[in-house]
Structure 1
Amino acid sequence: MYLVGLTGGIASGKSTVSSMLRELGCPIVDADVVARKVVEPRTLAHSRIVFHFGHEILLENGEIDRQKLGRIVFADAEKRKLLNSITHPEIHKEMLKQIIYYFLRGFRYIVLDVPLLFETRKLTHFLNHTVVVYCDPATQLSRLMLRDALTQEEAEQRLAAQMPLNEKRGLASHVIENSASREDTHRQVLRLHTKLEDSMDFLLVRVLAVAATAGLGGVLLYAAKMIFS
């Protein structure tokens, strides 16, 4: 088992590629799904967010109104930084639990679907491969406006809060071009999956697993905690 980071930009089609990989049987640890889980009512992160941002960001059922909170943090870099400092540690802990689960099930590789993979750089040193889902800027803007019912100004504001896709593209070991048809994207995903399945990168992790059974398990567990803490 080894780790593959999947990222992109907002409305670039990362979720589409992630779904295609899941259909191929790849285990996906989705940071967005985890992020929603760790801020559910009665969690530590939920309490801290309400404390700092006020009860007005809550829906009637007590859940966080993600759109309302999003408008606040995308308009203020310091508030965005505060929110990340609350949620990221909890997200990393939950992701580690899922990685261990899939590792024990014997999968060849695990995909970490992380929107801000290159922005935070918290995980990049521990990934064997990184994949960026790319589309041209005009397509990305129009998709975002349509998907989230945003004005052009609002959409541009959200895009400006992220690293440009061209920059992410230069940092990735693999690029999925998602400006054309779904069929074209699917062909690229199939080629990527075959390449990852054929990779020998999983051998190092198996060596570490053998080492753990030889009495180094505590050291490896400590290292994992350091990575995601």
Structure 2
Amino acid sequence: MGKPWVLGLTGGIGSGKSAAADAFAELGVATVDADHAARWVVEPGRPALSKIVDRFGKGILLEDGQLNRAALRERVFAEPEQRQWLEELLHPLIRDEIQQFLAAAQSPYTILVSPLLIESGQYKTVERVLVVDVPTELQLARALQRDQVPEAQLRAIMQLQLERDERLKYADDVLCNTGDKAALYEKVGRLHEYYLSLKGGQV
């Protein structure tokens, strides 16, 4: 079997990206999540974590030595130059982690799940883009229910993501996720059959 082609899967916060990725994974598709890679690169003992501590102090750690993500998020949201520093540190490390995973994948195609697939330019590294789409108010309601964070913080995260209409311009395929889990799995199953028929992600 040749090298698998890569599908980029994205969508706004609360759209159901992870649920869609899980559905593909159950069908045997290798998936890697950029958010998970972002966690791996700041595990205790990894060089990135010590650099973050050097910059922000030991108060940025939890008692067990893990990164306090909530504290770091507050700092970088409040100070754009800190966010830029953090992105410049982490993005190359995350990219390397993802590439290692994709290089080892054994399925006919693989999936890169990334909330900022388009904003970060990662979409240029994949053969095809699937956008999981829901109306903005449903997106907000789902994310509020799931994350239990203040609405203002969620809206701040959404501000960093592309507007819904803008994101859809980059889509080769759109998965409308306004229904229940069964409906989502049915749509993923149909897309999977279609993707298996593609060579290199192209029609």
Q: Counterpart of 1:173 in structure 2: which amino acid?
A: D
Q: Counterpart of 1:65 in structure 2: which amino acid?
A: N
- Contact 1:31–1:113 (8 Å) recurs in 2: yes
Question: Which residue is 1:119 aligned to?
Answer: 119
Deviation at 1:79, TM superposition (A): 2.1
Cα distance in structure 2, aligned partners of 1:55 and 1:79: 16
Deviation at 1:61, TM superposition (A): 0.8
Question: Which residue is 2:110 aligned to?
Answer: 110
Q: Deviations over 1:181-214 (max 9, x none)?
A: 22222221111111110102279xxxxxxxxxxx
Question: Which residue is 2:38 aligned to?
Answer: 35
Question: Which residue is 1:209 aligned to?
Answer: none
Q: Which has the higher helix share?
A: 1
Which of 1, 12, 19 aligns to 1:9? It is 12
Question: Which residue is 1:180 aligned to?
Answer: 179
Which protein shows a greater Rg? 1
For 1:117, what is the secondary structure of its paired residue? coil
Structure 1: gaps of 5 or more residues? 204-229
Structure 2: gaps of 5 or more residues? none
User: Identity of paired residues, percent?
Assistant: 34
Q: Counterpart of 2:115 in structure 1: which amino acid?
A: P
- Contact 1:7–1:115 (8 Å) recurs in 2: yes
Higher alpha-carbon deviation: 130-139 or 145-154:
145-154
Aligned-pair RMSD on alpha carbons?
A: 1.6
Question: Which residue is 1:207 aligned to?
Answer: none
Higher relative contact order (CA 8 A, sep 6+): 2
Q: Deviations over 1:76-126 (max 9, x none)?
A: 333222211111111111111111111xx3x211111122110011x3223
Which of 68, 84, 88 aligns to 1:65? It is 68
For 1:131, what is the secondary structure of its paired residue? strand
- Contact 1:74–1:161 (8 Å) recurs in 2: no
Normalised TM-score (structure 1): 0.81
How many equivalent pairs are there? 199
Cα distance in structure 2, aligned partners of 1:81 and 1:142: 29
Question: Which residue is 2:21 aligned to?
Answer: 18
Q: Counterpart of 1:110 in structure 2: which amino acid?
A: T
Normalised TM-score (structure 2): 0.91
Question: Which residue is 2:194 aligned to?
Answer: 195
Cα distance in structure 2, aligned partners of 1:134 and 1:78: 31
C-alpha change, 1:29 and 1:85, in structure 2 (3 Å) is same
Q: Counterpart of 2:73 in structure 1: which amino acid?
A: G
Question: Which residue is 2:149 aligned to?
Answer: 150
